[in-house]
Amino acid sequence: MPRAVLVTGGAGYIGGHACKALARAGYLPVTLDDLSAGHEWAVKWGPLVRADVADRAALDAVFREHRPEGVLHFAARIEVGESMRDPGKYYGNNCVASLRLLEAMRDHGCRRIVFSSTCAVYGAPQRLPLTEDHPQWPVNTYGWSKFTVERMLEDFHRAHGIANLRLRYFNAAGADPDAELGEEHDPETHLIPLVLRAAAGRGVIKVFGRDYDTPDGTCLRDYIHVTDLARAHVSALNLLERGGSQALNLGVGEGFSVREVLDTAERVTGRSIPREDAPRREGDPAALLAEPTAARRALDWEPEYGLEDMIAHAWAWMNR
């Protein structure tokens, strides 16, 4: 009988890919998702429990029925702009719900959790590449909500022995290489799916700022394939059998500019992508790059896919 792992937000983009990776590793992923942002079609490798993570009765029922030996915690609101307009939604969905989950884990004796965090906990970079010991001072409510959950995890480890790995993502991109899963947000805010929609004749890409201190003047970001992220979560879950509490950056350590993403997408798709210049967006740093050495060593993990793969897989998914 496969060992169960609870996956909150397992009907979402990264959570769905993580469920596939868990199943391949011999686990039974049990998805807990209210489907407010996820998709029922993304749940393919284990049961779906349709419930809010903040619903303590639902959590108790899941822990009693499935007895998961660990948790991958993805469920969260992720839109930066919305977080600034409606901070209560973010502290409620991201922080209060996480507290209910940790309390349920404590009470049911579940002692391993891998948390989907973000490089937004660092705020404006003081130095690059970003290392795990970089000062943390988020510049938006979304980042503060993730920062708060990271503190909660450290406290629950100290007080209750709940081992945790806090994985700080950079820019997740791409789609399942088998085209079984892909990115489908509403609204969509991520660059690569927006670029591919424009390649398909649905929209124009706004390039927010061409005067940054980067080689071509556009923002530079560290993109990591979603399947590589998913594999890292399985490695993290296994590592937690030893216990502990740690934060790790999940990135590639290589930056690509907005212009490079557009040019690569045009090569991959064979389509011209309409674009127009727009003013800088407030709060956008010129560059965000990970120093991924610690994660590679701790997890015995290496990213397999590059930017061209991410775009090709996402394009295949879109044209599935």
CB contact set of 24 (below 8 Å; sequence gap of 6+): none
Strand 3-8 and strand 27-32: the pairing is parallel
Element (H, E) at 222: strand 220-225
Any idea what DSSP says for residue 130?
B
Distance CA 292, CA 251 (A): 6
Backbone phi, then psi, for 101, in 5-degree steps? -65, -45
CA dihedral 148, 151, 157, 158 (to 10 degrees): -140
Catalytic positions, written as ranges: 142
Taking the alpha carbons of 267, 269, 270, 274 in that order, is the dihedral positive or negative?
A: negative
Cα separation, 193 vs 207, in Å, equals: 15
- The tokens of 139 are what? 């510049």
What are the CA-CA distances from residue 300 to residues 69, 171, 225, 233, 303 (Å)? 21, 21, 17, 12, 11
Number of Cβ within a 10 Å radius of residue 291: 18
